[in-house]
Structure 1
């Protein structure tokens, strides 16, 4: 297994909190539940986001996968990406420091 990171960005419409629909909120809940499940399985190492809700804000997911192709699939299956409320890009990654 190799480490990867995908970087998430909200689509421009959602950079204004007043534009969020119930469906958008539900998709983010699904996104979070999925990440927690994979964290519990040991696949997701870390996930988080900046405190910015503007064009400079982003989230990251650091995870383990067997190949570049499977990493791409894992990212694309994220409900927020799959349903188009976030864009994402995946990269091979290597965590250099872990907490002691």
Structure 2
């Protein structure tokens, strides 16, 4: 009896496993290739958590200049296809200020890009980097995002 139950269990698990791995009827191989998607429609990115940096200054002109450069740098990286997401975080107890999702393969490449940001370079912001696995189609939202803002920086 135990053998029959074991065989039935194995057959059931095989059926569940096979059912869970169906091919997507909407799959677009060309689009997947364009975005560098793996078989799951995903790819690796670098997630950057921006925190308040160690440079404590009250020089408003200096701060304004650095953050103007910060926003210009974000726009440049978006145009180059290296930055997928950027945005501020609400006030929190961890001093997190914002996030970036960079479309680069390594943290070393991300660190090189971050050195071009004046607010990070001047230590008004500090960056923590993490590997992140997300939808390969994430860059596709950028075209739409450029059409929904009314007032820009």
TM-score by length of 2: 0.52
Partner in structure 2 of residue 87 of structure 1: 126
Q: Aligned-pair distance for 1:20?
A: 5.4
Taking the aligned partners of 2:130 and 2:92, their CA distance within structure 1 comes to 23
Partner in structure 2 of residue 64 of structure 1: 103
Q: Would you tell me which structure has more strand in proportion to its own residues?
A: 1
Taking the aligned partners of 2:134 and 2:117, their CA distance within structure 1 comes to 22
> How many residues are paired up?
95
Farther-moved stretch of structure 1 (19-28 vs 81-90) = 19-28
Identify which of structures 1 and 2 has the higher relative contact order when contacts are C-alpha pairs closer than 8 Å and 6+ apart: 1
Farther-moved stretch of structure 1 (36-45 vs 5-14) = 5-14
Taking the aligned partners of 2:91 and 2:97, their CA distance within structure 1 comes to 8
1:27 aligned to 66, 72, 96, which one? 66
1:75 aligned to 110, 114, 123, which one? 114
> Any stretches of 5+ residues in structure 2 without a counterpart?
1-35, 37-43, 142-153
Q: Aligned-pair distance for 1:53?
A: 8.0
Question: Is 2:52 the counterpart of 1:10?
Answer: yes
State the SS of the aligned residue for 2:68. helix
Q: Aligned-pair distance for 1:31?
A: 0.7
> Any stretches of 5+ residues in structure 1 without a counterpart?
none
Q: CA RMSD in A?
A: 2.6
Question: Is 2:79 the counterpart of 1:40?
Answer: yes
